[in-house]
Structure 1
Amino acid sequence: MMNKYLKTIVGAGMVSGMSLFGGNAMAASEFYKGNTVKIYVGAGAGGGYGFFGRAFGKFYGKYIPGKPNVIVINKPGAGGTKMTNWAYNVAPKDGSVVGMPLMTVATNQHLRAKKIKYDATKLNWIGNMERSISLLFTWHTSKTKTIEDARKRVTQMGGSGKSSPIYQNIILANRLLGTKFNVVLGYKGADRALAIEKGEVEGSFSTLQNFRAMTPHWFKDGRNPLNILIQNANERTKELPNVPTTIELAKTDADKEVFRYMMLQSLTGRSVFAPPGVPSKRVNALRRAFDKTMKDKGFIALIERANLKLTTNTGEEVTKAVNKLISTPPEVVKRIKKLIK
């Protein structure tokens, strides 16, 4: 017969175990039924991130066990770090909150370390809607129509701030590819597109997907008013077979390594994560619901009506890419930080 002392120890252990594993023990459907999942987007409502966040939110809930209500909340600020810092440190860790960060969420950990209060490798990556191919482009009226032109003449390029990927990628082109871009800072979101239309600047850096979402009128009836100068990719994409890649243009292996580092951001182009500490069964439920949403005919149709295209990754694939980026050798990171100053 179990004595009183042993009963006390066993009883305490059972209570402790229930506390420790209670979150995982509850079925995901039981937790989410009648609950609300909040998607926090790390950018304003007017751009590509806002569009993808709202589109995703319309369909995501029906694939999460228990079919919870889903609402989308924009939480911009500090180049996207405000939302991720908050999600990592403050947001509930029960699976009721997911974040949609900017594509720089992982590189910021290296390049803007003082502003970062999270570890991207500890976020629970749910999936990615778009493998973003970064582009440098000019408006159709610009005299700079090719990379060769960009090496010969000073071209005014619109940007937001020095901590943004816009500025960083344009400056890297100057330092490593010999272009003569002059970055005019202070343009945010739709203001940058308007400045390009008005001729205040000649071009900028973005992904083609982002501008299609932010300025759909540019691409109406199959038009493309942009001169695509460079694409940051290992190989020329099917959509842009005549546009050179940064890897083609880079002169040394060390320079190629810099561009490949920046390329790893593509798997966080339109990504979704849950904060650390969310029970693993709920993380898995959120991941599989993401995968099913990516195949939803209504979701795909909504994306295609905006002249956009899904190029998705699973949460597991995003996790591998983020881990690889964060494990970049310190000497490579140090060089990149020096180049983008």
Structure 2
Amino acid sequence: MRLISRVRSLAASAATIGICAFGAMSPAAADLDLSGKTVDFVIPFSESGGSAKWANFYAPLLSEALPGKPTVAVKYMPGAGSTKGANWFQKQKYEDGTLIFGSSGSTQFPYMLDDPRVRYEYNDWNVVLASGVGGVAYLPPDIAKKFDGDADDLGDIDFIWGSQGATRLDLVPLLAWEMLGMKVEPVFGIKGRGAGRLMFERGEANIDYQTSPAYLKAVVPLVEGGKAVPMMSWGVLDANGDIVRDPTFPDMPTFKEVCEATAACETSGDVWDAWKAFFIAGFPAQKMVFLPQGAPQEAMDTYKKAFEAVIARPDFKEMAAARLGIYPQLTGKQADATLKLGTQVPAKAKTFVKTWLNERYGVKLN
């Protein structure tokens, strides 16, 4: 069954109810031949955001690496804060290896927060790739003049920001800006981070952030044209679990550095612990590729080997640095570990965030 028939089936139901470690290759993996087929790479977002850029980066490389060199076509299924596409994927069963799904932190956060829209279970899915990613917040030039490494002079500015939703990946910047004492009013409901960037470009918003793939492709030209100024990156985790500068943006301060320099912000205590927990789930463990329920080991091994072949290409690091940034691309047991890291949050941090979302934005979760 191709994607179009799957979507039609789901739509009919909705109308009725109202929707890099390298390992040994299993010999059976050679049985999965994708010659002449099309692999649908479904992401639950629009075509304008970081997930689209990530998926479109991998699609042609994966096509070359899979046995039979199938066409890998990226398909978009935005809606309901990405839970629409994830709920759809939950209903899919493995058929012939021609369906994979790309998850993001914006899909993981509703799952971790017990969002009532969630009808999907990560433990039912089969992860074959885990990609870390970064993020950058940026300002218009006139406001950036007031930023000198701390946010002390930004507290009297009324910021407007286009947001996909408070329980999405946008939770990380929303909480960060509040910790810095900034007055950021989100306009919820935009279809993708690309739409938020367009609001910034049109002057309808005066602050924004993008994940690294989208920032490198769509915001760097704005910076070079004098229309935007980077404020900070979220940073990355080092081997000790500490937040350090993003290697893709080594000259930018991290949020932790800005927080330490800002009188209103603290890098310890319950609020910091909650922010860091969701930052880890949202960025170091952000993007993952899955096969659906029931995928046999031979299919898992085939995709694992294909992604490892992509990552091992002599030109991969250079291509990835330009389009994705410099972040880990993990398979096998490392991908399994990343899945756990990206879909679990300490109970205390979850409780704090749920209370904050309710009090600050009126978002009530179970």
TM-score for both structures, normalised by structure 2: 0.74
> What's the offset of the Cα at 1:67?
3.1
> What's the offset of the Cα at 1:151?
4.8
CA RMSD of aligned residues (A): 3.1
Q: Give the structure 1 partner of residue 30 of structure 2.
A: 29
The one of 103, 113, 116 aligned to 1:114? 116
Does 1:180 pair with 2:183?
yes
Q: SS in structure 1 opposite 2:120?
A: coil
In terms of mean alpha carbon deviation, does 87-96 or 327-336 score higher? 87-96
CA distance in 2 between partners of 1:210 and 1:323 (Å):
26
For residues 74 and 115 of structure 1, do their structure 2 counterparts lie closer, same or farther at Cα, with a shift above 3 Å needed?
A: same
The one of 190, 203, 222 aligned to 1:218? 222
Does 1:201 pair with 2:211?
no
In terms of mean alpha carbon deviation, does 209-218 or 273-282 score higher? 209-218
The one of 152, 157, 161 aligned to 2:160? 157
> What's the offset of the Cα at 1:324?
3.3
1:192 corresponds to which letter in structure 2?
Answer: G
> What's the offset of the Cα at 1:50?
1.8
For residues 237 and 214 of structure 1, do their structure 2 counterparts lie closer, same or farther at Cα, with a shift above 3 Å needed?
A: closer
The one of 221, 234, 255 aligned to 2:271? 255
For residues 293 and 105 of structure 1, do their structure 2 counterparts lie closer, same or farther at Cα, with a shift above 3 Å needed?
A: same
- Per-residue CA distance 1:94-120 (angstroms, 9 max, x = gap): 432111122223222122521111222
Q: SS in structure 1 opposite 2:108?
A: coil
> What's the offset of the Cα at 1:325?
4.4
The one of 78, 91, 98 aligned to 1:89? 91
1:182 corresponds to which letter in structure 2?
Answer: E
> What's the offset of the Cα at 1:305?
5.8
Q: SS in structure 2 opposite 1:104?
A: helix
> What's the offset of the Cα at 1:54?
2.1
Contact 1:137 1:205 (8 Å CA) reproduced: yes
The alignment of Structure 1 onto Structure 2 pairs a total of residues equal to 315
Q: Give the structure 2 partner of residue 6 of structure 1.
A: none
CA distance in 2 between partners of 1:153 and 1:227 (Å):
20
Structure 2: tracts of 5 or more residues without a match: 1-25, 237-242, 359-366
The one of 60, 82, 86 aligned to 1:58? 60
- Per-residue CA distance 1:231-269 (angstroms, 9 max, x = gap): 254122342445143374534232332122112222443
CA distance in 1 between partners of 2:301 and 2:49 (Å):
29
CA distance in 2 between partners of 1:188 and 1:240 (Å):
30
Contact 2:161 2:196 (8 Å CA) reproduced: yes
Matches within 5 A, 1:181-330: 181-189=184-192, 190-215=194-219, 217-218=221-222, 225-229=228-232, 231-233=234-236, 234-238=243-247, 239-246=249-256, 248=260, 249-262=265-278, 263-296=280-313, 303=320, 306=323, 308-315=324-331, 316-330=333-347
Greater helix content: 1
For residues 150 and 114 of structure 1, do their structure 2 counterparts lie closer, same or farther at Cα, with a shift above 3 Å needed?
A: farther
CA distance in 1 between partners of 2:91 and 2:27 (Å):
24
Q: SS in structure 2 opposite 1:159?
A: strand
TM-score for both structures, normalised by structure 1: 0.79
Structure 1: tracts of 5 or more residues without a match: 1-24
1:197 corresponds to which letter in structure 2?
Answer: E
